[in-house]
Structure 1
Amino acid sequence: MTVVLVDDLRSFVDGRAAEIARNSADGVALLGRHRDRRVDELWLDHDLGGEDTIWPVVEVLERAAFEGHPFDIGAILIHSANPSGAAKMAQALRHWGYPVRLAAGSPAVGYRDAPRT
């Protein structure tokens, strides 16, 4: 099972195997490595520290679908604590046919180490 997490601070608290990107540039690169492979779960946070957000990653997904070759993703789980950002992400990705679930507050993701200040 292939699990990808794009989040600047959180990880899977149960220690499940996942590929993790901590910023949007790394998220885009990570998706690029999975372009021709299935991603079973793609977990997305909206705010990625400072001025960085998930939008460059969303744009890659949108462009692929627009070009007729969407990524093969079993589920996109939006676990952002930013309700308006999460809603906009979900709307954009659903528009292109991606399977999206809102997962804010999911016990699966959390701070395994002390959060950065």
Structure 2
Amino acid sequence: MLPVVLIDDLRSFVDGRAAHVARSSAAGIDLLQRYRAQRLAELWLDHDLGGDDTIWPVVELLEQAAFEGSPFDIGTVYIHSANPPGAARIMQVLQRWGYVVRLSSGSPHVGYRVEAQ
């Protein structure tokens, strides 16, 4: 099964599906670098990652890889941000570099999970 990566400071997959989760842009970059040599089924991106952190360092990594002729091998990038202008900008940049991108703001798949006590 191909890996799924979620970069979001607070949310997770509400259905509990298996995913590799990063809670900051730095952790997201580390995670993507770890999977650089293999295909990702999905990459889920949130724009605002808490405090002054945003997804832009991750987007720049993806953009740079494509610019250099070796884009990350990702089935679909899903942008699930509640920041419409930020989501639109991410989509525009990544599509320009050939990534398959879907806007998934308000997706029922990503939310705040209630952990069992």
**Shared fold, TM over 0.5:** yes
TM-superposition CA deviations, 1:46-88 (whole Å, max 9, x none): 0000000000000000000000000000000000000000000
Number of residue pairs aligned between Structure 1 and Structure 2: 114
- Rounded Cα–Cα distance in structure 2 between residues aligned with 1:113 and 1:6: 18
Aligned to 1:81: 82
Aligned to 2:35: 34
Identity of aligned residues (%): 69
Which residue type is aligned with residue 60 of structure 2? E
- Rounded Cα–Cα distance in structure 2 between residues aligned with 1:75 and 1:39: 8
Aligned pairs for 1:70-109 (under 5 A) are 70-109=71-110
Q: Which structure 2 segments of 5+ residues have no match? A: none
Q: CA deviation at 1:14?
A: 0.2
Normalized against structure 1, the TM-score is what? 0.96
Q: Which structure 1 segments of 5+ residues have no match? A: none
Aligned to 2:69: 68
Q: CA deviation at 1:113?
A: 3.4
Moved over 3 A (4+): none
Normalized against structure 2, the TM-score is what? 0.96
